[in-house]
Chains A and B, each alone.
Chain A
Amino acid sequence: MKAIIEVKNLSFSYTSQSAVLGTPYGGRLPAQPILKHITFKVIQSRFLAIAGPNGVGKTTLINLLCGQLRAQAGSIIIDTAHIESYSVGRLAQKVAVVRQEFVPIFDFTVAEVVSMGRTPYLGTFGFEGKTDRAVVNEALEATDTAQFALRPLGSLSGGERQRVFIARAIAQNTAILLLDEPTSFLDLKHQVGIYDLLKEMQLEKGKTIVAITHDVNMAAQYADEILLLGADNSYYIGKTKDTFKPEQIEKVFGVRVFTCNIKQESFFLPLGKFAKASTHIKSKLNSKQEK
């Protein structure tokens, strides 16, 4: 099995100079280590979910993997070549990114936005050819966005828009798909819809998927492997079942969780002090902690 992404000993810290291309971190204080000596591999056609509390560098890691940021130490190998050996255009043929929601300033239609996924393949004058249009159509169909192809992006709901951005990433026709919280802001039905779509892309098209998520249950149900980033620069990587253990989740997120097992599958429910169920399980957890 071939590793398509190999991260070796990667370290990154934000300095005033690392304000690369529109990332909103330009103002951070100098030399605050975000990622420290991280090493992991992603096998081709696998689904890796990245989880962890806010501010541990999940988005930073995605930005490093797509060449938006440059690491101070360590290396990233994308499809057997060092990430820095790729030109911007060539890398865009290998890696597609879906970021947290944004709206373009002009009223582009859905079809136009998805067509932009073909940018890395266009010639001098930048017109899509027959193949490009076929790929775009296919991406629209696969994401079920063809129905509003002619509508302006701004007129869609959050869930529909997210599907459009995934369609654009699919039209980019890359082996690797990076997603930064693809289901934040979405209702339950659309969350499941997006994960099903991603899984379909993985199983049918053989795409490698790396997605940041805050939803540990969704990650547990869909991902093959989990990268759990902790606040103290610690990290755990491995099969979903090995990574998502109640103790591990409680430690990394710093929150009490109630675990519910359905056959082989574990579900985690975070419980705060005032949560209604907290009163019922308090004794159980307390006694566990006392042991």
Chain B
Amino acid sequence: MGQVLTAKSLVIKVLLCLAALTVIMGLCTLVGTQKVSLKRVLAGPGSSPGENIDYEILICIRLPRVLLAALVGAALACSGVVLQAILRNPLADPYILGISSGAGLGVMTAAISGISWSFLGGSPIGFFAFAGAMVTVWLVWYIGHLTGKSQVTSLLLAGVVVNAFFSAIIMFLTSIAKSEQVVSTIFWLMGNITGKNLSVLFVSAGCILTGIIVLFTISHRLNVLALGQAEAKGLGVDVARTRIIAFAFAALITAISVSLSGLIGFVGLIIPHGVRLAFGPDHRQLLPLSAIIGAAFLIIADTIARIIVAPAQLPVGVITAIAGGPFFLILLARYSRKVSWLK
């Protein structure tokens, strides 16, 4: 029976997609405002810094940035897949549970209070974004469970309300703060991939990959959850446990991405849908392929952001939003049509 996913066919698809991703990574590393000679890069680093500029541009500046884009793209796409499944809402995205406004508030607080210490060699912005995101997710989860045990609707509503409330506070703080204090925050809110300290990159990569693997192990349960809670329980799935694991790890990888690169919209929404349209809704396949394709998508978007208005750079969030907005509307039209047809 060829129609049902087998482990073997999945491995083949994942390997093919990984190969394509590697090619895209290589090409995007080579593209840039500064022409780089591959021959000189392969000669290796010079004996003193600045001796082999080509090597430094490619390996020390562009490659980490491409890797970062890959990491964030994968995390956002996976988080989108998981949240759409457990909220049973095809229009859910990684930020739906208040992560964006929580992280934004964290960053705003850091900017206004003028904190300037560094964390893991990085700026405090990342740390505050992460802390704000995690606290907000917990808050939304808590409020959602006050109103109704294991009801996804109340969770969604709690997310929307907390998001709106925190956004209002962000606007309030923006209007009372001095402009130079909030410039970095606004830039951050637009979503930005910039060079990161290597240790930050490695720690984040470890956490995000672990998160994606954990989510993969529950992916067959996500399939059943998409049928509804009662159905899932009837098929032997521990709904509450699956949901907690899914929420916790989706929130974790999203919070890490947000702390690395600010708010990059639409990746977590359009990639899962695109992959679902192309490969079907089976989460065992949807999750790994969304990770890889999300990574490729953000690498390409970031490459465009780097070169399109060179020598200046666009925030990558602008590119993803410009590409994603129309896509989202098409999706919305498609789904509303489907719903009316079903009724």
A residues at B contact (CB < 8 Å): 17, 19, 21-23, 26, 63, 66-68, 88-93, 95-97, 99, 102-109, 111-113, 115-117, 119-120, 122, 124-128, 133, 136-137, 149-150, 154, 172
B6 in the interface (beta carbon within 8 A): yes
Residues of chain B contacted by A63 (CB below 8 angstroms): 230
Is the beta-carbon distance between A103 and B4 smaller than 8 angstroms? no
Contacts A/B (CB < 8 Å), 21 sampled: A17-B149, A19-B151, A22-B228, A22-B229, A63-B230, A89-B238, A92-B236, A106-B276, A107-B276, A107-B281, A108-B223, A108-B226, A111-B3, A112-B223, A112-B280, A117-B235, A119-B221, A119-B236, A120-B235, A126-B221, A133-B1
Is the beta-carbon distance between A122 and B220 smaller than 8 angstroms? yes
User: Pick the contact of A112 from B90, B151, B282, B342 — CB < 8 Å?
Assistant: B282
Given contact pairs A119-B224, A119-B236, A124 touches B217 in the complex (Cβ within 8 A): yes
B281 to chain A, nearest CB (A): 4
Residues of chain A contacted by B276 (CB below 8 angstroms): 106-107
Extra inter-chain contacts (5) besides given A102-B227, A106-B90, A116-B223, CB under 8 Å:
A63-B230, A68-B230, A104-B228, A119-B224, A126-B284
Residues of chain A contacted by B90 (CB below 8 angstroms): 105-106
B164 to chain A, nearest CB (A): 25
Identify which of residues 1-55 in chain B touch chain A, using a CB-to-CB cut-off of 8 Å. 1, 3-7, 10
Q: Name B273's closest neighbour in chain A (CB-CB).
A: A106
Given contact pairs A88-B236, A116-B235, A19 touches B284 in the complex (Cβ within 8 A): no
| Total A-B Cβ pairs within 8 A | 122
Binary CB contact string for chain B from 190 to 234 against chain A (1 if under 8 A, 0 otherwise): 000000000000000000000000001101110110111111011
User: Pick the contact of B1 from A23, A26, A117, A137 — CB < 8 Å?
Assistant: A137
Is the beta-carbon distance between A68 and B234 smaller than 8 angstroms? yes
B interface bracket (residues with beta carbon within 8 Å of A): 35 or more
Is the beta-carbon distance between A21 and B236 smaller than 8 angstroms? no
B237 in the interface (beta carbon within 8 A): yes
Is the beta-carbon distance between B235 and A115 smaller than 8 angstroms? no
In Å, the complex CA distance between A105 and B228 comes to: 9
In Å, the complex CA distance between A105 and B87 comes to: 10
B337 in the interface (beta carbon within 8 A): no
Is the beta-carbon distance between B234 and A66 smaller than 8 angstroms? yes
Given contact pairs A19-B148, A92-B235, A106-B90, A128 touches B227 in the complex (Cβ within 8 A): no
Given contact pairs A102-B227, A111-B3, A124-B217, A67 touches B233 in the complex (Cβ within 8 A): yes
In Å, the complex CA distance between A96 and B216 comes to: 26
In Å, the complex CA distance between A205 and B280 comes to: 33
User: Pick the contact of B224 from A66, A109, A116, A124 — CB < 8 Å?
Assistant: A116
* Residue of B1, B88, B226 most packed against chain A (CB within 10 A): B1
B residues at A contact (CB < 8 Å): 1, 3-7, 10, 88-90, 148-151, 216-217, 219-221, 223-224, 226-231, 233-239, 276, 280-282, 284, 338, 342
Is the beta-carbon distance between B239 and A119 smaller than 8 angstroms? no
- Leading 8 A-B pairs by shortest Cβ distance: A126-B220, A92-B236, A120-B236, A106-B281, A22-B229, A89-B236, A119-B235, A111-B3
A205 to chain B, nearest CB (A): 19
In Å, the complex CA distance between A1 and B282 comes to: 43
B239 to chain A, nearest CB (A): 6
Is the beta-carbon distance between A92 and B234 smaller than 8 angstroms? yes
Is the beta-carbon distance between A136 and B230 smaller than 8 angstroms? no
Residues of chain A contacted by B226 (CB below 8 angstroms): 104-106, 108
Is the beta-carbon distance between A119 and B237 smaller than 8 angstroms? yes
User: Pick the contact of B228 from A88, A102, A111 — CB < 8 Å?
Assistant: A102
Is the beta-carbon distance between A125 and B217 smaller than 8 angstroms? yes
Q: Name B286's closest neighbour in chain A (CB-CB).
A: A106
Residues of chain A contacted by B338 (CB below 8 angstroms): 154
Residues of chain B contacted by A19 (CB below 8 angstroms): 148-149, 151
* Residue of A67, A89, A106, A116 most packed against chain B (CB within 10 A): A106
Is the beta-carbon distance between A127 and B284 smaller than 8 angstroms? yes
User: Pick the contact of B88 from A93, A105, A172 — CB < 8 Å?
Assistant: A105
Is the beta-carbon distance between B342 and A21 smaller than 8 angstroms? no
Is the beta-carbon distance between A103 and B342 smaller than 8 angstroms? yes
Residues of chain B contacted by A21 (CB below 8 angstroms): 150, 229-230, 233, 239
In Å, the complex CA distance between A124 and B217 comes to: 6
Is the beta-carbon distance between A26 and B231 smaller than 8 angstroms? no
In Å, the complex CA distance between A67 and B235 comes to: 11
Residues of chain B contacted by A17 (CB below 8 angstroms): 149
In Å, the complex CA distance between A99 and B219 comes to: 24
Given contact pairs A105-B88, A112-B282, A125 touches B216 in the complex (Cβ within 8 A): yes
User: Pick the contact of A150 from B3, B220, B234 — CB < 8 Å?
Assistant: B3
Is the beta-carbon distance between A126 and B219 smaller than 8 angstroms? yes
In Å, the complex CA distance between A124 and B220 comes to: 9
Residues of chain A contacted by B150 (CB below 8 angstroms): 21-22
Is the beta-carbon distance between A149 and B3 smaller than 8 angstroms? yes
Residues of chain B contacted by A136 (CB below 8 angstroms): 1, 4
In Å, the complex CA distance between A206 and B89 comes to: 40
Residues of chain A contacted by B234 (CB below 8 angstroms): 66, 68, 92, 95-97, 99
In Å, the complex CA distance between A133 and B150 comes to: 33
* Residue of B6, B10, B90 most packed against chain A (CB within 10 A): B6
Residues of chain B contacted by A125 (CB below 8 angstroms): 7, 216-217, 220, 284
* Residue of B88, B223, B236, B342 most packed against chain A (CB within 10 A): B236
In Å, the complex CA distance between A90 and B88 comes to: 26
Given contact pairs A126-B220, A128-B4, A104 touches B227 in the complex (Cβ within 8 A): yes
